Structure 1
């Protein structure tokens, strides 16, 4: 029975293949940033409504979140669709593929959910690239009652699980005092110097951090003219580590670097979070084994994850509350990797289109195995 059910689900997804690929390409061609995914979330909601899902667009007090449910069985599976883009480089993380694959898995399971004893909910989750849409949805009950949660994510190579680190992002600003840089520089308090001191201190700190730790940042403002002592500077920073506990210790050291900038120059420091912290990703190994077997049955070939470092996802927070998987779909596009313009182009190739269907089928098959 399992084999025949899987065959039927695969046929249904492949029959919808042209629509799913069109959805992927449409989202890719219309990149929208965090919490601004009006078009993408609407297209996902419409596709699921057409498949007889009970759909709520604007769920959990988030205008671009979606909750779409079908079936009434005792095992409740959540499938996550991301669709936000990156500033400047569009869908360089392939969220168009994630959204289309999630819709495809939902379509494949819709007609067999009740027979299998499944309830299937597709969750459209905004603002993964900063903003923590899933964290907000988790706090508001979106994942309550789920027996499992899953999603797929494109990458250069096939991985069972993304090495998911804990992350904190925050905005930093210094308030100094502008003055004429030639006539009266002594009357100024140089906010640009403050952020320079902080960056030098962070650069030195990196020598004493572990290989898995990452500290990154950009200066977004540091004066407007060379003959004016800059009275304000601003930047956005991100700190990564293996676990929430290790992240807290590293972040404290980074914040002291910013305090050093204030102390050295006399500028006033302000730090505020730019979104909720992301927890480390803890995939469910048993479910991951089921997914891998299903993906390999479709011809997917897995590689080993990198030894150090990793990316971050708000799916990590979900994984601390619900059994979760977050496997990576290889697009065979090296040397292009996530968050590069070349990866944006790779996310609408024939390999990307195949990944939409394979990801959808593998997730749907995994849900059947979980029954």
Structure 2
């Protein structure tokens, strides 16, 4: 939209006044936001099956005037919820999938509630700052890559900046993550009686063992920040039957997508070695889309840092941030297309870390409640800072324009409502 075609409304309030409006809004909605966080935590749902969680978020936003579209991008549990009609579209990413066995041990209930809280706060300044507020419900972060699918299917095409906060043991404003791909290897041999006729068998468990040994020997030659970890998902039916079918899933991680491809080539060779050594057939299947490493927007990260320091939090020093990695996330793919941030917000979890049962317990503590509210406010204040700064606003819109000119398609309401099918 050109400047000539659209004149921004004159700002009547200062940045400080707008931040104060956001602060009061978060406080006013505190009961609803904490209730949402705890309700999602109490009913954990796995990737692409987060029906109750998605409904809880959209029902709250709809009650406050957001226009909800469910099932976007062809994903049953993905949604968008919009408020306002400004030319600067703000995407607040909500995650709400849980982990097998340990539930919300990554704190996605906090992510969802803080996104909703930030949206409710920004709705009160949307007209003043000429914003469209969009909560983007992104399923299947743990496995499946909901954001990657939604990015590819146009949900982010008109988003000028995207934000989310993720709980962890420490406040980190611009975290580094690793690129990741998930590979499943499946071996097929031939069953036989393990005692009466073992010579007739082709042992798929041996193929998997050879692959695992090969990967173990490879570890001493991995590049910096490359890593491999996996589990056996099918190991055989009974010890007196030569296994005809085995399978394993491995996570491959690296500092960036280029390094990840080099690692994948070597791991695939290890899988092939198992088949060659035993005479088994094998296939390798990519389980989830590749997650890219985070490339957080520097200006937005610094604005977020200012916001949480003002709130009273103490983030890691910038130099320390650059030396740490936080795992992997499909938000990395978004940050390579859209100016975006993915800060970590601290909860008091003792010695626990993400993906442990103890961390799941910490994600419904008083500290977790504070993280919901602080995260909501810090994101809102970051948006206020960016939208109220003429230079940064122009930069964000210029990036959006270049993406559009490069072929990105602005999704229509009809496209989103159709579930991304045209």
Normalising by the smaller structure, the TM-score range is over 0.9
Distance 2:324 2:266 in 1: 21
Distance 1:235 1:130 in 2: 15
Distance 1:216 1:255 in 2: 14
Contact 1:165–1:281 at 8 Å: present in 2 too? yes
Establish whether residue 282 from structure 1 lines up as the match of residue 295 from structure 2: yes
Distance 1:51 1:224 in 2: 54
Aligned CA distance change for structure 1 residues 264 and 202 (closer, same or farther; 3 Å): same
What's the CA shift for 1:239?
A: 0.2
Distance 2:321 2:206 in 1: 40
What's the CA shift for 1:307?
A: 3.2
What's the CA shift for 1:246?
A: 0.6
Establish whether residue 326 from structure 1 lines up as the match of residue 342 from structure 2: yes
Query: Scaled by the length of structure 1, what TM-score is found?
Result: 0.98
In structure 2, the gaps of 5 or more residues are 1-13, 388-422
Contact 2:175–2:324 at 8 Å: present in 1 too? no
What's the CA shift for 1:333?
A: 1.7
What's the CA shift for 1:309?
A: 4.7
1:134 aligned residue (142, 147, 165): 147
Distance 2:288 2:37 in 1: 27
3-state DSSP of counterpart to 1:263: helix
Summarize deviations over 1:303-326 as a string: whole Å, max 9, x none. 234835541111000011000100
Establish whether residue 181 from structure 1 lines up as the match of residue 194 from structure 2: yes
Distance 1:98 1:297 in 2: 21
Matches within 5 A, 1:1-371: 1-303=14-316, 304-305=320-321, 307=323, 309-371=325-387
Contact 1:243–1:280 at 8 Å: present in 2 too? yes
- Most deviating of 24-33 and 301-310: 301-310
Distance 1:277 1:240 in 2: 10
Task: Count residues in correspondence.
Answer: 371
What's the CA shift for 1:210?
A: 2.5
Distance 2:233 2:166 in 1: 30
Moved over 6 A (4+): none
Distance 2:243 2:323 in 1: 42
Query: Scaled by the length of structure 2, what TM-score is found?
Result: 0.87
In structure 1, the gaps of 5 or more residues are none
What's the CA shift for 1:108?
A: 0.4
What's the CA shift for 1:363?
A: 0.3
Summarize deviations over 1:179-232 as a string: whole Å, max 9, x none. 001011010000001001100110110110124111010001111211111111
RMSD of equivalent CA atoms: 1.0
Contact 1:81–1:123 at 8 Å: present in 2 too? yes
Contact 1:157–1:331 at 8 Å: present in 2 too? yes
Contact 2:175–2:322 at 8 Å: present in 1 too? no
Distance 1:142 1:358 in 2: 27
Contact 1:218–1:235 at 8 Å: present in 2 too? yes
Contact 1:156–1:330 at 8 Å: present in 2 too? yes
Contact 1:51–1:110 at 8 Å: present in 2 too? no
What's the CA shift for 1:28?
A: 0.4
Summarize deviations over 1:153-181 as a string: whole Å, max 9, x none. 00011111332111100211100001001
